[in-house]
Amino acid sequence: MSLHVLVVDNPAVQQLMELNAESAQVLLEQQLPDMLMLEWDLPGQSGVALIRRLRARSATRDLPIIMLSARAGEPDKILALECGADDYLTKPFGPRELLARMHAVLRRRAPRTSEQGAQDTVQMAGLRLDPATQRVTAGARELVLGPIEFRLLNFLMHHPERVHSRAQLIDKVWGNHAVLEERTVDAHVGRLRSALQPSGHQAHIETVRGSGYRFKAWDAHARVAWHGVAA
């Protein structure tokens, strides 16, 4: 399978394509690639700012993006992931690691159908998730989730009240061959909570200190029962 990958890196790195954020935006509007590899420090607009713009547009909301950067600090990595990057690769890196991370991102973006019951519609706590249509609704309100956040919510709602470690979520949501740091899970959980906030369901994604995350299937005030999951 051939891939169309757009590489947007700092002009000082001669072995990669020399583009800035503005020219990258033009190219993306002309033809959407299979993946975008993006440098943080670009002339003019930063790579992080460009990611925010791309995630705000419906045409590029689901575009796989790997951020490339010499910034090795954890705050920088978390910021990039929270802004919408699928992975973060610190320079210098070798071609084998780059290919491994590219394949891992593509696997994460591909639909996962192996989990038993994961394709069944599930309803609980006032939320309805339909894998067939890739929609999450709260009453008449439709909530907008990215593909990873959708799979994360799908897994948690199909296994309510159970605590799942970050390593378990990487295995079940991203795939057991994913090359990714556990902190990435925290970033996507944050994005999932933000997506659920318009309907007030963000509190149902609970952090269990020292253990991981779980979906709270009961509303503490309304005591809404859940259904749609086989025992």
User: Which CATH code fits 5-109?
Assistant: 3.40.50.2300
CA distance 42 to 170: 31
Tokens of 188: 């996507």
Three-state DSSP string of the chain: CCCCEEEEECCCCCCCCECCHHHHHHHHHHCCCCEEEEECCCCCCCHHHHHHHHHHCCCCCCCCEEEEECCCCHHHHHHHHHHCCCEEEECCCCHHHHHHHHHHHHHHHCCCCCCCCCCCCEEECCEEEECCCCEEEECCEEECCCHHHHHHHHHHHHCCCCCECHHHHHHHHHCCCCCCCCHHHHHHHHHHHHHHHHHCCHHHEEEECCCEEEECCCCCCCCCCCECCCC
Cα-based distances in Å from 163 to 54, 118, 189, 204, 212:
33, 17, 14, 13, 6
d(CA 207, CA 168): 14
CATH number of this structure's domain 122-215:
1.10.10.10
Give the per-residue pLDDT at 59.
73
In the chain, which residues fall in CATH 3.40.50.2300? 5-109
Domain with CATH 1.10.10.10 in the chain: 122-215
* pLDDT by residue, tens only, the chain of 231 residues: 445 666 665 554 434 344 566 677 667 766 677 788 888 887 777 889 889 888 888 778 778 899 999 999 988 988 898 888 989 999 888 888 888 888 888 776 665 444 544 578 899 889 999 988 889 999 999 999 988 899 999 999 998 888 999 888 888 887 755 566 778 889 899 999 999 999 999 999 999 988 999 999 875 443 334 444 433
Main-chain phi, psi angles of 107, to 5 degrees = -65, -40
pLDDT of residue 199: 93
What pLDDT shows up at residue 213? 95
> What is the model's pTM?
0.54
